[in-house]
Every structure is written in C-alpha cells, then in structure tokens.
Amino acid sequence: MSPTPAARRLRLGLPRRMFSQVLLMQLAIAAGVAVLATGLFLAPLSAQLDDQAMRRALAIAQTTAAEPGIADEVRTTPATADGPVQRIAERIRKATHAEYIVVMDRRGVRWSHPTPGEVGRTVSTDPHLALAGKEVMEIDSGTLGRSARGKVPLRDSHGGIVGAVSVGIAYDSVRARLIHAIPGLFAYAGGALAVGALAAWLISRRVHRQTRDLAFSDISGLLAEREAMLHGIREGVIALDRAGRVRLLNDEAQRLLGIGDESVGRSPDEALGEGRTADVLAGRVTGTDLLTVRGQRVLVANRMPTDDGGAVATLRDRTELEQLGRELDSTRGLIDALRAQDHEHANRMHTLLGLLELEMYEDAVEFVGEVVGDHRVTAEQVTEKVHDPLLAALLVGKATVAAERGVALWVSDRTRLPDRLVDPRGLVTVVGNLVDNALDAVAGTLHARVEVELRAEGRTVILRVRDTGPGIPAEQRELIFMEGWSTKTPPAHRKRGIGLSLVRKLAERQGGSATVGEAEDGGAEFTVVLPEALAVRDREPALSTPTAQQSAPQSAPEEES
C-alpha cells in the first residue's frame, strides 16, 4: 500500500501550512538565484582580470619600446647587467610594478632582465611573432613562473625592427585580486538573499491572508468540490468580473439562458442581447427576486456583488410555478363563474318557485323557456363567430365572470376566426391575459364594458381588446410590456408584471407585434398581430357575422400586468 500524500510530507519534513511552504519555496528560489548569479559573475571575472593584466603588460611593453634611444642602445652597446638598456628597463619595471621587462635583440638575446645574471642569455620563449612585427598578449610560463605577457617589436628611428620588448605581470597577483573580490561578491549575494527572503516573507503573508492558511491539497479539494457543486445544483449561477464580463457559467445557467461557453468573457448585453435579463445581470436593475422572461421561461434572478468588484447572479426557473399560478387563477376563475351561475340559478329557481306557488303556470313555462334560450343563444352566437373550441369556451366562460363583476363583455360584430389555428393554446394565453387586464381596468366604473375582436386576414390573426377604463398614459405604453412593471398590487401566490410581457413575447416569437393605444371611448385598446397564425387550407368555409352579443368565461392561463 503506497503512503498517502500527508505521510510523504511528514516523512520528508515538509510543513503542511501554505504560509510555510510558500516561504520555504521563495527562500530556496532566492538562495538559488543568489548562488547562480554569484557563479555567473565569478566565471567571467578571472578571464576579465587576465585580459586586463595582458593589456597592461602590452601597454608597458609599448611604453618601453617607445623610450627614446633604447633601440639604438640595443644596436650599438653590448648586453651587460649594468648597461643602459638594463637601467632603463629596470626603472620602468619598478615604476609600473611589472614582474619583468625583457629587452632582446633579433637573435633573442636578453639586454635586460630583473635577474642580472640572465642578461646576455637567450630568452626561454619563442619571440618570433614580436620580431615579425606583431604585438602579442598571452598567459604563459617563463623563468619567473606563470605570468601575463605582452610583447611588441622594438623599432629604430627608421622603423626597422632591431629586437623586441617582453613585459610580464605575475599571474599570481591576478588570482589574488580575484580571491580578494570574492568576499565582496558574497556580501552582495548575501544582501540579495536577505532582500529575497524579506520579499518571500511578505508574499507568503499575503498568500496566507488570501487563502486563509489553507494547504494546497485543501485548495485543490475545494476547487473540485466547487466544480461538482456548481454543475450539479439545479440553480443557474453566473459570475461576472469587475468589468462586467461573464467569467463563469454553470450548466443550469446555460440551459436557462440558452447560451454556451462561448459567452464567457463577454458582457451580458453581448451574450444575451439587450433586454431585462441583461439589465438584471449587469446590475442596471436592482432588487431581490427580480422576475425576467428569457424565451419561454420565467426566471427569478438575484445579484450579489463580490469583494473584487464583480458579482454573482443566481437564476431560478419559475416557469412551472407560473404555470401553476395560472392554473390556480383558472381554478379561481372557474369557481367565480360557478358561484355566479349558482347565484343566478338560485335567483331563477326562487322566481320559478314563486310563479308556481302563485299558480302562474303559463308564466313559469315562459320564464323557463327564456332562461334556457338565452344561454343557448349566447353560446351559439360565440361559436358561430369563433370556431376554435378553446377560444370559444374561454370567451363564454369569461362573460359569466364579467357579468358577476358588473361588466359587459362583448364579442365584436367583426369577429371571424376559423378553426385552424397553429398555436391555439398560445392565443388562449394572449386573449385571457388581455381580457383579464381589461376587466381589472374597468372594475368599479360606470357602464363598464369590454369588447373583444378576433379577425383573420389570410393567415394573419388580428386581436383587439377594448375597454372603457381610464386608459394608459402615452409615456407608459411601452413600460407596461416590460417584465416586472405593474401598477397593481400583486396577489399573495405570485408577482405581477409578467402577463403583458408574455403577450408581447408570444407575438414576437411568431413574427408579430403587441401594441396599445387609445380606444374610441377613451379607454385602452390592445392590438396583437400574429402573422401565419392559421394553417394553410385549400378551401375555407364561410363564417357568419351575427350581431354583437354579450358572452361569458371560462378561465384560461393568464397573467396580469
């Protein structure tokens, strides 16, 4: 069984705390850099000192060769230990602290040397390059040991070569200079190491604060857990940087928003397009549990700023909840309709009972016939104008609720809709929302009336809903189609500000439009145009256009603005 990472760390003596690990690594790096820099500096230093010594030897040789009269002395005087050439060379050697200055003739016989006994003897190294007119710099060994040498030709006044001058500087003195420089180098290296150690300590402290002293293995584990959590939760998570660009998207956020990984690094406006969803994510709309619509989904968004200037937004899918809310509203509408029918039925039964008790049998029969006929005529008139069963049932049902609320719901004489809708449920949602909004708008007003017009022009369906309410100010006619905008108090089970937004989105999804203007009676008139809302049919049956008649409801999926 292999040892665990923790066991290996203990065996190697490595600390577990990140602060200590980073500090040791930084110190090791600083020490390594200091040693490397010292080595890189010392490596060429010896060569540089040798080059300087050779150039110095060459310069002394050039000075000696340029001494006036020395060339003539070599040509005219013998090589003696107390000759003029020896005296000149020794004077220059002592003045320059050279190891030796040797003046020789063309045969290589010495005319000067620090050791007088060597004067008159042949030199130990080959002088042919200098005698050939070349200047030479080298490190070599001679009778005085290893030295840095410089050799130049010795010329007479006419430029002819009469000999050569060789100057040497003891090599040991060069090495001594190098060794003398090493303590200073180590002092600089130690200073650099101290600065590096201080910087390492400061960096480690900063890392310690930012990572809360977690070990590297802990951070790795947290990252793995974060990835698993982000992509496993059923809530969309979007992280934005301080510039407002998306830097993280989990799988649920991509599904809810209908975008992919290509959106990372882009702003919400670039990734989603302009709209309320982008405004919420960018922070231009503030608040908690903000409602927004993305495609066919109703989302609840919350945005929280982060310490680095960015933000994290969460998205929850409220579509099913909204559908349940609409079903609840439909159920409540059905209950209201049944309550209204029950109330009306009870009144009629009481009337019929009174007629029978008064033995007014003929009047009772006539009364029953009128009641049954009214309901039959109302339903027949609606179905003659609207051939789609869902829409017909909606309008018949809504009229009962309207009558209970004291509102007259009329189906326009111009209504003419065949039974070949491409998306009947979508149109039911649109009509239900607009009728409910109109009923709310005219509630409590005198002579309250709502008129519905459904008309087919080719494959295009045109819907108009008019009311006699207070109308909508011109400056608010675009705001009412925004998600979350409403002038009404929301009910307990859900929020307002979604219905009219869904109406417009359903219309725009089919390439149509939803607008609002002023009705002839001063109220509001909503117009929805749905291109290609009818399926293609070779022959279309004629539709009758009976007189306008009040109709009654069934509830349908609806939202409120």
**pLDDT at 60 > cutoff 60:** yes
Beta-bridge partners for 104: 110, 164
**pLDDT at 489 > cutoff 90:** no
What would the DSSP string read from start to end of 308-344?
TS-EEEEEEE-HHHHHHHHHHHHHHHHHHHHHHHHHH
Q: 65-79, 92-106, 193-207: lowest mean pLDDT where?
A: 193-207
Pair 75, 83: CB distance under 8 Å: no
SS3 480: helix
Report which of 507, 512, 426, 416 is spatially closest to residue 456, judged by C-alpha positions.
416
- Residues 6 or more apart in contact with residue 253 via CB below 8 angstroms: 236, 237, 238, 315
Residues of the chain with CATH 3.30.450.20: 15-214, 219-317
- Residue 338's pLDDT is 66
Euclidean distance between the first and final Cα of the chain, in Å? 68
Give the integer Cα–Cα distance in Å for 154 and 150: 13
Instruction: Read off the amino acid at residue 480.
Output: I
Top-tier CATH class for 15-214: alpha beta
**pLDDT at 551 > cutoff 50:** no
- Residue 556's pLDDT is 38
Pair 21, 14: CB distance under 8 Å: yes
Query: Tokens for 64?
Result: 């000696």
- Residue 59's pLDDT is 92
Greatest Cα pair distance in the chain: 178
**pLDDT at 11 > cutoff 50:** no
Q: For 219-317, which CATH superfamily applies? A: PAS domain (3.30.450.20)
Pair 233, 71: CB distance under 8 Å: no
Per-residue pLDDT of 17-46, as tens digits, reads: 655 666 677 777 777 777 777 667 666 766
Section 178-189 average pLDDT: 70
Give the integer Cα–Cα distance in Å for 295 and 293: 6
- Residue 164's pLDDT is 93
How do strand 408-411 and strand 449-457 relate by DSSP bridges? parallel
Per-residue pLDDT of 418-466, as tens digits, reads: 888 888 878 888 888 899 889 888 888 888 889 999 999 988 999 999 9
**pLDDT at 58 > cutoff 60:** yes
- Residue 141's pLDDT is 63
Q: 246-250, 262-266, 484-488: lowest mean pLDDT where?
A: 484-488
- Residue 452's pLDDT is 92
Give the integer Cα–Cα distance in Å for 488 and 441: 10
**Phi, psi values for residue 132, rounded to 5°:** -85, 0
Query: Tokens for 27?
Result: 């110190």
The strand order across the sheet containing 460-467 reads: 513-518, 524-530, 460-467, 449-457, 408-411, 549-550
Give the integer Cα–Cα distance in Å for 480 and 486: 7
Tokens 């307002």 identify what position? 496
Per-residue pLDDT of 325-348, as tens digits, reads: 556 655 665 576 666 666 666 776
Q: How confident is the model at residue 495 (pLDDT cuts 50, 70, 90)?
A: very low
- Residues 6 or more apart in contact with residue 506 via CB below 8 angstroms: 426, 429, 430
CATH topology of domain 322-550: Heat Shock Protein 90 (3.30.565)
Report which of 416, 458, 414, 407 is spatially closest to residue 436, judged by C-alpha positions.
407
Q: 73-82, 84-93, 177-186: lowest mean pLDDT where?
A: 177-186
SS3 460: strand
| 282, 287, 289, 294 alpha-carbon torsion, rounded to 10° | -30
Beta-bridge partners for 153: 164
| 367, 371, 373, 377 alpha-carbon torsion, rounded to 10° | 150
Per-residue pLDDT of 279-319, as tens digits, reads: 888 888 888 878 777 776 778 888 999 888 889 998 888 76
- CA Rg, the chain, in Å? 53
Neighbours of 384 (CB within 10 A): 17
**pLDDT at 171 > cutoff 70:** no
Report the alpha-carbon angle 250-253-255, nearest 5. Answer: 110
Q: How confident is the model at residue 477 (pLDDT cuts 50, 70, 90)?
A: confident
Pair 462, 418: CB distance under 8 Å: no
- Residue 558's pLDDT is 39
**pLDDT at 529 > cutoff 90:** yes
The pLDDT > 90 percentage for the chain reads 10
Residues of the chain with CATH 3.30.565.10: 322-550
Query: Tokens for 178?
Result: 């190098």
Q: How confident is the model at residue 494 (pLDDT cuts 50, 70, 90)?
A: very low
Give 419's DSSP letter: S
CA dihedral sign, ordered 376, 379, 383, 388? negative
pLDDT, averaged across the chain = 77
Give the integer Cα–Cα distance in Å for 459 and 537: 10
- Residue 152's pLDDT is 93
Q: 129-138, 289-298, 311-320, 483-492: lowest mean pLDDT where?
A: 483-492
Report the alpha-carbon angle 327-328-329, nearest 5. Answer: 90
- Residue 145's pLDDT is 60
**pLDDT at 550 > cutoff 80:** no
